């Protein structure tokens, strides 16, 4: 109960700040915190997690409002769709997919979100209006700075400085008694009211909850609705599950990722019905809850009920909160989101990982959040493919090397006069390394039998099978019979894809010794018959799959 109460107190200024920052108003932030916080706790899969509006979700929702020219009901439709998609993600057990997103992508993305939040709050910090985009905030910064040291601007700068001092230098031992965001909110509001400072405030906040209603849907905006809804769903899922991992590390427990997505989805759908901001698992509120003793879903429920009680009687009191104070609180949120874990390793981390992080960071700030994630995952996948490709070796030799095979090698060379060659593939055999097979046929000239050793291949995809099939066909055209050695599982896969129709019967093995014995026998039979070895394969065999 104390954990939920503490988390609710911490959530209050953040919910108000996120609501104002999004353009939907402070009440929307409170409604979202109540709906997502309550239903994600009731139906989610992370016991101590506290959910509500977060920086990343607010940034996307703000872009949705701007994209629909201020049509708040259309923006709420994206939240409803995002919640429904999250429920689908959970039902189809996609909760574990987040573990496969490379860390540099997550790092660049979260750091980019932090930079966006800081940039968007520079205007309110200096007493100017909030910009609609990071680039607009950068362009408006000179004008904001020039007006910051006269009249209302100076008042805002003074309040901002006090707020930043409180949230950044607040004694840790006092956090459990009065969290720094709440202290900064109360102190800034009291100072502004007592000294009658000329600063912009959040204005009237409705008391009570609105009547639930379905968001509007415009068929002409379905494409934009779908893309923004998917962006919110994916972002909310990543944000929530990363927070779940943080909670697991603190509690030594394990969350249920699929159930967590279902709970988050239900919470966002309810938030859309009540005109609230979308939300996700909130790291700071979750950590505060755990440190205060919260260990079950009851914490999140109490956190939501605390906010509900405040909403029912807070309206008149909250109307005088200065915007520059809320901006200072959000700047602290933005700074905390920055990924210092990787930023500290800029000099020593692999350059390829740093490149991915920087690209994702730049695209997140300057272009689009979903484009950034897609570009980062694609770039990371290409770099991984390149690394794996460099680790794969395809060698052609007369017999297997190693101490155990020296006698076999010497005997085979003497008996066959290099008529048997072995193609040893070491490492993953997939689309990135399949091209290494090209040109190997030239090194087989003079051979009568080729043995392809795939025993050290951990996995093989369809591109590799096609490359192997092409080599078998070229060998057959040159009068060379091809034998393939692989694991039993890969052998079954090759047969199902039709490779045995190209090689002919009895050409796929699971033991190298058996393949070498067959190579000797095949070579001896061919020399005795005076014909090419490869005629044992069907000349009318069709290409696998194709």
- CATH number for the domain that contains residue 501: 3.30.750.24
Per the rule left: phi > 0, alpha: psi between -120 and 50, beta: everything else, 127 is left
Residue 357 lies in a domain: no
Residue 488 lies in a domain: yes
* Judgement on whether residues 176 and 294 belong to the same structural domain of the protein: yes
**Pair (267, 413) in one structural domain:** no
Q: How many CA atoms lie within 13 A of 186 on its CB side?
A: 9
190: pLDDT strictly greater than 80? yes
**Domain final residue pick, 338, 370, 403:** 338
Q: Is 2 a residue whose pLDDT tops 50? A: yes
Q: Is the pLDDT of residue 413 over 80?
A: no
Q: What is the mean pLDDT of the chain?
A: 86
Global model pTM greater than 0.85? no
The pLDDT confidence band at residue 311, using thresholds 50, 70 and 90, is confident
CA–CA separation, 42 vs 36, rounded Å? 10
Structure tokens, 326: 């809320």
Write down which residue in 315, 338, 361 finishes a domain. Answer: 338
In a shared domain, residues 293 and 398:
no
Is residue 321 a part of any domain in this protein? yes
Q: What percent of the chain has pLDDT over 90?
A: 43
- Tokens representing residue 117 in the block: 């939040």
Do residues 145 and 274 both lie within one domain?
yes
Examine the domain organization and report whether 183 and 281 are in the same domain: yes
d(CA 2, CA 292): 7
More confident of the two residues 224 and 545: 224
404/530 same-domain check: yes
> What's the mean pLDDT in 393-399?
59
Based on the domain organization, do 402 and 313 belong to the same domain?
A: no
If you average pLDDT over residues 476-497, what whole number do you get? 92
Asked if 289 and 415 sit in the same domain, the reply is: no
* pLDDT on residue 534: 53
Q: Which tokens go with 112? A: 């980019």
User: 241 is in which domain, residue-wise?
Assistant: 2-338
pLDDT bin (cut points 50, 70, 90) of residue 537 is very low
User: Residue 268 falls within a domain, yes or no?
Assistant: yes
Residue 454, helix vs strand vs coil: strand
Q: What is the pLDDT of residue 441?
A: 66
Residue 532: name the closest of 508, 494, 504 by CA. 504
Which two three-digit tokens encode residue 68? 């629909």
Give the mean pLDDT of 482-500.
93
From the list 252, 279, 249, 275, the residue with the least C-alpha distance to 266 is 279
- Domain's final residue, options 314, 338, 362: 338
In a domain, 226, yes or no: yes
Contact 351, 187 (CB under 8 A): no
Give yes or no for residue 415 having a pLDDT over 70. no
Q: What are the Cα distances from residue 444, in Å, to 178, 450, 476?
A: 78, 8, 12
Q: Are residues 434 and 320 in the same domain?
A: no
- Is residue 305, in this structure, part of any structural domain at all? yes
pLDDT attached to residue 233: 94
Task: Kindly state whether residue 369 falls inside one of the protein's structural domains.
Answer: no
- Is the CB of residue 17 less than 8 Å from the CB of residue 29? yes
pLDDT of residue 262: 97
Q: Do the beta carbons of residue 37 and residue 50 sit within 8 Å? A: yes
Q: Tell me the C-alpha distance between 432 and 389, whole Å.
A: 6
Largest CA distance in the chain: 109
Residue whose token pair is 């949120």: 333
Q: Look at residue 538 in the predicted model and tell me its pLDDT.
A: 41
> How many other CB atoms are there within 10 angstroms of residue 236's CB atom?
31
The H or E element containing residue 425 is strand 420-426
Same domain for 80 and 175? Answer: yes
pLDDT over 70 at 409, yes or no: no
**Rounded to 5 degrees, what angle do the CA atoms 383, 387, 388 make?**
120
Pairwise pLDDT comparison (124 vs 313), residue with the higher score: 124
- Is residue 349 assigned to a domain? no
Min mean pLDDT across 156-160, 271-275, 356-360, 410-414 is at: 410-414
Q: Are residues 435 and 301 in the same domain?
A: no
Half-sphere exposure of 202 (CA within 13 A, CB side): 34
Per the structure, the count of domains in the chain is 2
State the pLDDT at residue 387. 82
323 shares a domain with 437:
no
């Amino acid at each position: 109960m104390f954990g939920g109460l503490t988390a609710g107190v911490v959530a209050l200024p953040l919910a108000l700040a996120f609501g104002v920052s999004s353009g939907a108003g402070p009440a929307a932030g409170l409604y979202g915190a109540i709906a997502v916080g309550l239903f994600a706790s009731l139906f989610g899969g992370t016991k101590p997690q506290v959910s509500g509006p977060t920086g990343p979700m607010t940034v996307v929702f703000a872009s949705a409002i701007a994209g629909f020219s201020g049509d708040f009901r259309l923006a709420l439709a994206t939240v409803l769709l995002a919640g429904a998609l999250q429920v689908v993600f959970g039902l189809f057990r996609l909760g574990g997919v987040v573990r496969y997103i490379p860390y540099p992508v997550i790092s660049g993305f979260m750091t980019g979100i932090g930079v966006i939040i800081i940039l968007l709050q520079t205007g309110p910090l200096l007493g100017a209006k909030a910009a609609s985009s990071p680039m607009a905030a950068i362009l408006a910064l000179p004008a904001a700075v020039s007006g910051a040291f006269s009249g209302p601007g100076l008042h805002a700068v003074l309040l901002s400085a006090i707020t930043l001092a409180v949230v950044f230098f607040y004694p840790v031992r006092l956090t459990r008694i009065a969290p720094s965001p709440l202290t900064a909110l109360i102190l800034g509001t009291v100072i502004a009211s007592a000294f009658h400072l000329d600063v912009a405030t959040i204005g009237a906040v409705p008391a009570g909850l609105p009547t639930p209603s379905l968001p509007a849907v415009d068929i002409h905006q379905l494409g934009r609705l779908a893309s923004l809804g998917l962006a919110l769903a994916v972002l909310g899922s990543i944000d929530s599950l990363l927070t779940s991992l943080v909670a697991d590390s603190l509690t030594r427990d394990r969350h249920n990722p699929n159930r967590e997505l279902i709970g988050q989805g239900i919470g966002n759908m309810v938030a859309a019905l009540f005109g609230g901001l979308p939300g996700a698992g909130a790291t700071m509120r979750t950590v505060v809850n755990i440190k205060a003793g919260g260990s079950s879903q009851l914490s999140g429920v109490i956190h939501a009920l605390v906010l509900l009680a405040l909403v029912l009687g807070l309206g008149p009191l909250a109307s005088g909160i200065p915007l520059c104070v809320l901006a200072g609180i959000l700047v602290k949120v933005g700074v905390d989101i920055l990924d210092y874990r990787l930023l500290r390793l800029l000099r020593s981390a692999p350059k390829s990982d740093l490149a991915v992080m920087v690209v994702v960071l730049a695209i997140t700030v300057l272009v689009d959040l979903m484009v950034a994630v897609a570009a980062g995952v694609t770039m990371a996948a290409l770099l991984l493919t390149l690394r794996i490709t460099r680790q794969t070796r395809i060698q052609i030799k007369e017999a297997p090397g190693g101490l155990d095979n020296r006698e076999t090698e010497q005997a085979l060379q003497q008996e066959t006069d290099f008529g048997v060659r072995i193609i040893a593939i070491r490492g993953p055999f997939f689309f990135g390394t399949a091209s290494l097979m090209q040109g190997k046929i030239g090194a087989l000239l003079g051979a009568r039998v080729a043995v392809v050793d795939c025993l050290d291949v951990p996995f093989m995809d369809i591109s590799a099978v096609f490359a192997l099939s092409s080599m078998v066909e070229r060998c057959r055209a040159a009068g060379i019979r091809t034998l393939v050695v692989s694991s039993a599982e890969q052998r079954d896969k090759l047969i199902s894809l039709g490779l045995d129709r190209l090689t002919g019967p009895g050409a796929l093995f699971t033991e190298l010794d058996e393949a070498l014995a067959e190579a000797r026998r095949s070579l001896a039979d061919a020399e005795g018959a005076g014909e090419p070895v490869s005629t044992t394969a069907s000349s009318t065999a069709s290409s696998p799959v194709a």
